[in-house]
Structures are given as structure tokens and as C-alpha cells.
Amino acid sequence: MANDYSYVDPDYTYTDPKTGVMRNLAGITDHDTLVLVESGAFTKRIKELRAKPLKIKNAETLLTIHKHLFQDVYEWAGKVRTVEISKSGHAFISLGYFHRAFPFIDTMIADYRTIDKNDKPALAQKLAEILDHINYLHPFREGNGRTQREFLRLLALEKGLDLDLNPPDNAEVYERYMSGTINGDVKLLAELIRDVI
């Protein structure tokens, strides 16, 4: 999938104005090197979360997950973005609405927790709705998809379900996930989640 994001960042809060590379703890100025370092750090940290899962308290657990996953790479790991973001001409939620978005997602999580663990269609539907809202929130400058997939995995785990939306041996799952999130297609996401849990 092409990376056609746009950012409103006149102060270059997240990137070096000369290289365009994301500011990082290692001072890396080459994009490909940063991608490699970030991938290695992420792989190590996601294994830790798989071995010792976090407990989802509320929507702000997204920040805790992001902090854990990207703490080795970015100073702003676990902090909400301070720039506006759009993709393919479609804006994600504006910064001014974060204070409403997080509590709204909390209500969705509370609803999810009332669903019987054996009602997989209802669980899949609610997880898809939560995913769609978290994706629209897009709370971070980088790492949103990886963070939201781990968040959903942890919610599914509460119900005794195994949910991997980016399995290494099945590219079709990830492609369906990307299509559903990019297009805000809750029906497609619910079908996908129902198929893989």
C-alpha cells in the first residue's frame, strides 16, 4: 500500500527539515536505516507483549501500548500526535476532538465487555467498530496500525480469542484489514475478524 499521508507540521516537530526523516533517539538521518532499526526494535517489544500481555483499562491504554512498542526509537512514544494527519485526501480526527474521542471509545469497550464470550458474530462486530473508531482517531504520528492491532488482540484475548490481523503466513488477512481500515468499512472488518478469531 502506498504511503500517501499528509501532515500539517510547519514546525517540523517530528521530522528533520533537511532529510525528511523522522526524528529518532539514535539520531539516524537515513530513512531506510531508520526503517530497519524501528522494525528490529518493534519486533523485540511486540514479543514482550505477546509473552506478557497488558490489561486494557480504557482507550488510553493505546498510549501505553505505543510507548512500549516504540520506546527504543522515538522520544514521543506513547504521546498523542500534535499534528493534523490525512491520507488520500481524507482527514483523521482533528486534535481538538481527542478529548471527546477517547471517552467515546471507552463506551464501546464497555459495550464489548458485556457481550457473551461465545457470541463470536457480536464480538467481531463490536471489535470492528472499535477498530474503525481507533483508526479514525489515529492518535500517533507513526505506529498507529501496529498499536491498534495489538490493542484489538488484547481485547479479543479478554474473551479467550486469538486475533492476529497481520499473520506472517497469510498476507490476505493483512490486505483485508488494510482495505477495511482505509475505507472505513466496518462490515468488511467484522467479516475479517469473524473469519480469523
pLDDT at 89: 81
Question: CATH number, domain at 154?
Answer: 1.10.3290.10
pLDDT at 4: 74
Which H or E run contains 48? Answer: helix 31-51
46-103: pLDDT as tens digits: 999 999 999 999 999 999 999 999 999 999 999 999 999 998 888 999 999 999 999 9
Sign, CA dihedral 127-151-142-166, equals negative
**CA distances to 26, 43, 103, 118, 159 from 114, in Å:** 44, 33, 17, 12, 11
pLDDT at 6: 87
12-26: pLDDT as tens digits: 999 999 999 999 999
- In this prediction the pTM is 0.95
Query: Do the Cβ atoms of 163 and 190 come closer than 8 Å?
Result: no
Query: Do the Cβ atoms of 84 and 73 come closer than 8 Å?
Result: no
3: pLDDT strictly greater than 80: no
- The residues near 161 (Cβ < 8 Å, ≥ 6 apart) are 117, 120, 123, 197
**CA distances to 24, 47, 58, 80, 185 from 83, in Å:** 17, 30, 23, 9, 25
Number of domains in the chain: 1
Q: Residue 102 belongs to what domain range?
A: 5-196
115-159: pLDDT as tens digits: 999 999 999 999 999 999 999 999 999 999 999 999 999 999 999
pLDDT at 1: 43
- Terminal alpha carbon distance of the chain: 25
